[in-house]
Amino acid sequence: MKTWMRYRLLVFIAGGVILLDQISKALIRQHLALYEVWVPWPWLAPYARIVHWYNTGVAFGLLQERGKLFAVLAVLVALAILYYFPRIPTSEKWLRLALSLQLGGAIGNLIDRLTLGHVTDFISVGTFPVFNLADASITIGTGLLILSVWLQERRERSANALSNSNLPGESLPSSPNDQP
């Protein structure tokens, strides 16, 4: 299979995440002063709002002042995904989507770290820490990764159970009383 074909989904999804993330952050930086809050409808204020925020840590404002460490980690994660992605069977759609979302989010925040020295955040929901589209993409990708691994394990267990029940000459006891 051609190299481009193996990376097509990764480039499309990760590229879309990076583009949307960078455009949304640029709009926030352009239209809201740092720490300024915008709520389109007053009734929405307790639940969700847009706020111009930044952090030097990792997703959701954790581990502040470690931006350089996370820049290095983002590069390592991106390289690992780029290496591993073409080796994933195309039938593993959830895993491929998960890694694509994670790559897009990692690069989206890496661009901020390298160009601004911090990450622009702007989505504020309830009392949850302020985040951005890259953070959301990484989180959703992680959830899909967990789901993918769980589904794969279920398929393997079902296949093993089926193959073990079809072994010639062997039968499993149907009740504890049938055991020798």
Residue with tokens 């985040």: 131
Query: Any bridge partners for residue 80, and if so which?
Result: none
Is 178 marked active-site? Answer: no
Catalytic member of 21, 112, 121, 178: 121
Catalytic member of 21, 112, 135, 178: 135
Distances in whole angstroms, Cα of residue 56 to Cα of each of 51, 59, 69, 111, 156: 16, 9, 10, 13, 42
Interhelix angle 133-165/3-31, rounded to 10 degrees, is 150
The residues annotated with a catalytic role in the active site are 121, 135
